[in-house]
Amino acid sequence: MRAGIKQVAELAEVSTATVSHVINSTRFVSTETKEKVYRAMRELDYRPNAIAQSLRSQKSNTIGLIVPILPSDTSNFFFMTVAQGIQMTLKRYGYHMLLSNNVNEELGDEQEQIKLFNTKQIDGLIIASIAEEVGYLNDIVHNQYPVVFIDRKPVGYKGDYVLADGYGGSLEAVRQLLEKGHRRIGFITGTLGISTSNERLEGYREALAQQGVPYDPSLVMIANASFESGYLCAQQLLASGDVTAVFVANNVLTMGVVACLQEKRIRIPDDLAVIGFDDYDWTKITSPPLTVIRQPSFEIGVTAAEVMMKRIEKRSEQQRHKEYRLPTTLIERGSC
Amino acid sequence: MRAGIKQVAELAEVSTATVSHVINSTRFVSTETKEKVYRAMRELDYRPNAIAQSLRSQKSNTIGLIVPILPSDTSNFFFMTVAQGIQMTLKRYGYHMLLSNNVNEELGDEQEQIKLFNTKQIDGLIIASIAEEVGYLNDIVHNQYPVVFIDRKPVGYKGDYVLADGYGGSLEAVRQLLEKGHRRIGFITGTLGISTSNERLEGYREALAQQGVPYDPSLVMIANASFESGYLCAQQLLASGDVTAVFVANNVLTMGVVACLQEKRIRIPDDLAVIGFDDYDWTKITSPPLTVIRQPSFEIGVTAAEVMMKRIEKRSEQQRHKEYRLPTTLIERGSC
DNA sequence: CTGAAAGCGCTTACAG
DNA sequence: CTGAAAGCGCTTACAG
């Protein structure tokens, strides 16, 4: 059996209250008693039972994370990297991460997950909700812990959110294409409705507008987030005729597009210039290597976790909720 | 405030014991009392507090998972996919997953993580240990819960383990290369010492031996698991002269190798035939698409979780620990 | 400077 | 067929 606080108290010849207080530095204890307690703890290799601590203090030192990662191989490097960022920084703060990925991309599952998390007394929730409207959180969270949103801008619930500057990134990508003389520029994006896609589309339109290039809806392809879907969109876009460049606003779709171009022996960038989304190692090994808009995925995770820690520490000071928008970068390689 | 079992009991006009028993179906309760209890639970939207349940029953419904995933973008699709497999099947059994990735690849961290997990009363541990010898687990786990190893074969601790047939995969890959007439075949692997790499090297040697091709140590490059390292190994291998094919026994290294070949304008497979490891979407979009040995990563996760569930259910019957070895597949594309 | 004791929300012998 | 009560391992007012 593992030693408990009682055994430590006995061995140190103090009360359990004292032991607890030296563990948590929650009231003054004389140096000598402290020493006795430390000695006893060491001797018994004592570790406080986190479950008991949680039950008593109503605090679990655990943050719940919900992200939509499909079971496919590819999808979603992005969220996995974000999750790593979160996990690593939580660790630094002594927090744990309870991970749940919403596989079906169904809203009901998402809610169910949160209820399960509640049951585990999470101290905070970080979520990339699949919902366009997250008002339902009001009923589930009951304001009992902070919620930090990632990747998408929440509507219907007040909370901090951290995401990349998709608008700016998209603007920069399309500008780059325009500068190279392209006028018929395709745009392939994931489902509209969520803020991420919307913003990227906006950036595309704005870039065109700034150069006086008319917006042609037939050049905009809406895919669902899969390799195959990217492949098909590329195919359609090519069939439509005179496109000379394409900006793909999502990493999985980018792969599908490249696969299609390669199969059809369309040369990049000569026949078609391409800018992809997200910077991963594999974008360096296509031929030519891909020019992409980099999102700081790891940093998004780090920031989200840090914002969360700040919220938890200063629970009382009801500061306004903030938007944390991290800049994207154009990484120029050979595809445009 | 959330309702507790007490509130439910009051509303249903029964004892908390009865409520508990209907929740857990742990003793007979008459249909009508049951009904009253269900009604009360529904009305209060009651969910048992998992923390309290854990404390009392010494069971957390949580499995700890420790995998070594470096913070780099790329590394390690493999373990992430495994983690997904684990998480999805645990979910089906009503279990949670506590994830911790051992970023530094340091043994001390690994041990520290397990101690933290102990503190959280995990019911089982799934681990891809970085240690060659895991005898230290005896002191930490104290046989209090089952341990399932993944990807690597444990030495020094008895437990089930599930991994891919690296030996067979390697054998198949090198055979393929031999059949195509290659005799000078390079082999690039991660650090030796762990069973994974060792086995793959064995497969390589065995394939050569079967064809009477002498084993030449200078064709074997040992890398650490990074893109750069793969790049450098490829470079060295090329410098050494007359290699006509290479088998890269790790996915991250494969990327580095391809990057190097591309930069040096070495044509695949004409100048150098390549077989990579692990089948991911990006292996389809290199030119040419890569022939690879596929590991069933997701399935490894699923199997590990299922083995764990079985162990937990039948704690009493001390069955022998088993090896679960999943077959690999040669996926032929254009690189060899 | 420190202790005795209540209580977090459950489960589970014990008893009838 | 069901209840009263102890207890899981801690934290935290209350008290001196």
For chain B, the domain total comes to: 3
A180 & A287 share domain: yes
Query: Do A170 and A270 lie in a common domain?
Result: yes
**Are B100 and B13 within one domain?**
no
Residue nearest to nucleotide C5 (CA to C1'): A17
Interface test with B, best of A87, A97, A274, A282 (most B CBs within 10 A): A282
CA B334 – CA A212 distance, rounded (Å): 44
Pair A204, A262 in one domain:
yes
pLDDT at residue A169, as a whole number: 97
How far does the CA of B20 sit from the C1' of D12, in Å?
A: 28
Can you give the distance from the CA of residue A54 to the C1' of nucleotide C9 in angstroms? Answer: 11
Q: Is residue A152 part of a domain?
A: yes
CB B190 within 8 Å of CB B229: no
Residue B226 in any domain: the answer is yes
Shared-domain flag, residues A302 and A285: no
Whether A73 sits inside 8 A of B252 (CB atoms) is no
> Is the Cβ pair B282, A255 closer than 8 Å?
yes
Residue nearest to nucleotide C8 (CA to C1'): A56
- Write out pLDDT tens, residues A51-78: 999 999 999 999 999 988 766 656 577 8
Q: Nearest nucleotide by C1' from A4 CA?
A: D9
Return per-residue pLDDT of chain A as tens, 336 residues: 578 999 999 999 999 999 999 999 999 999 999 999 999 999 999 999 999 999 999 999 999 999 887 666 565 778 888 988 998 899 899 898 888 877 767 788 889 889 989 999 999 999 999 888 899 999 898 888 999 999 989 999 989 999 999 999 999 999 999 999 999 999 999 888 778 899 999 999 999 999 999 999 999 999 987 889 999 999 999 987 789 999 999 888 999 999 999 989 999 899 999 999 999 888 998 888 999 999 999 999 999 999 999 999 876 556 788 999 999 999 999 898
Alpha helices in chain A (DSSP H): 5-12, 16-24, 31-44, 50-57, 77-92, 107-119, 137-141, 166-179, 195-210, 227-239, 251-263, 297-313
Residue A157 CA to residue A134 CA, distance in Å, equals 6
Distance from CA of B80 to the nearest CA of A (A): 8
> Which of A71, A103, A118 is closest, CB to CB, to B47?
A118
Number of helices (H) and strands (E) in chain B: give both, helices first: 12, 12
DSSP one-letter string for B153-193: --SSS--EEEEE-HHHHHHHHHHHHHHTT--SEEEEES-TT
DSSP letters for A259-306: HHHHHTT--TTTT-EEEEES--GGGGSSSSPPEEEEP-HHHHHHHHHH
Are B208 and B325 found together in one domain?
Answer: no
pLDDT of amino acid B146: 93
| Contact between B120 and A51 using a beta-carbon 8 Å cutoff | yes
List pLDDT tens digits, range A291-321.
Answer: 999 999 999 999 999 999 999 987 655 678 8
Q: C12 C1' – B310 CA distance, angstroms?
A: 25
C-alpha to C-alpha distance for B232 and B202, rounded to whole angstroms: 23
Interface contact flag, B280 A100, Cβ < 8 Å: no
Query: B49 vs A121: CB contact, 8 Å cut-off?
Result: yes
Q: What's the pLDDT at A313? A: 84
Calculate the dihedral angle through the C-alpha atoms of B278, B284, B286, B292, rounding to the nearest 10 degrees.
Answer: 30
Examine residue B54 and state whether it is found in any structural domain, yes or no: no
Is B56 a member of any domain? no
Protein CA B19 to sugar C1' D4 (Å): 14
Judging contacts by C-beta atoms under 8 Å, the chain A residues touching residue B254 are none
CATH number, position A318: 3.40.50.2300
Dihedral sign of CA atoms B86, B87, B92, B98 in order? positive
* CATH number of the domain residue B15 falls in: 1.10.260.40
Please report, rounded to whole angstroms, the spatial distance between the CA atom of protein residue B67 and the C1' atom of nucleotide D14: 47
Q: What is the pLDDT of residues B278-325, one digit of tens each?
A: 998 889 988 889 999 999 999 999 999 999 999 998 765 567 899 999
Whether residue B158 is found in the same domain as residue B170 = no
The segments of chain B whose pLDDT lies below 70 read 1, 70-75, 104, 315-318
Residue A43 within a domain: yes
Q: Dig out the tokens for A46 from the structure.
A: 């004592």
Q: Are residue A172 and residue A278 in the same domain, yes or no?
A: yes
Q: Which of B118, B282, B283, B302 best tests the A interface by mutation, with the highest count of A CBs <10 A?
A: B282
Q: How far is B288 from chain A (nearest CA, A)?
A: 9
| CB atoms A77 and B73 under 8 Å | yes
Cβ-Cβ contacts under 8 Å, B250 against chain A: none
In a domain, residue A313? The reply is yes
Tens of pLDDT, residue by residue over A4-30, are 999 999 999 999 999 999 999 999 999
Residues A310 and A278 reside in one and the same domain:
no
Chain A positions touching B48 (Cβ under 8 A) are 119
Q: How many CB contacts within 8 angstroms connect chain A with chain B?
A: 132
The DSSP secondary-structure symbol of B58 reads T
Verify that A261 and A187 share a domain, yes or no.
yes
Instruction: Dig out the tokens for B299 from the structure.
Output: 């399935």
Three-state DSSP class for residue B84: helix
Instruction: Indicate whether B110 and B77 sit together in one domain.
Output: yes
How many whole angstroms separate alpha carbon A154 and alpha carbon B94? 29
What is the maximum span of chain B, computed from C-alpha positions, in angstroms?
85
Tokens of B246: 């290479």
Does A35 reside within a domain? yes
Residues B159 and B242 in one domain: no
Considering only CB atoms, which chain B residues are within 8 Å of A119? 47-50
Measure CA to C1' and name the residue nearest D9: A52
Asked if the structure places residue A308 within a domain, the reply is yes
Mean pLDDT score of chain B: 90
To test the contact with chain A by mutation, choose from B41, B268, B285, B290 the residue with the greatest count of A C-beta atoms within 10 A, namely B285
Q: At A25, phi and psi to the nearest 5?
A: 50, 55
Q: Domain limits at A217?
A: 166-294
Contact at 8 Å (CB) between A68 and A107? Answer: no
Distance from the Cα of residue B220 to its chain's centroid: 26
Q: Which nucleotides on chain D have any atom < 7 A from a protein Cβ? A: 1-5, 7-13
Q: What is the pLDDT of residue A317?
A: 59
Q: What is the pLDDT of residue B100?
A: 82
Cβ of A71 within 8 Å of Cβ of B54? The answer is: no
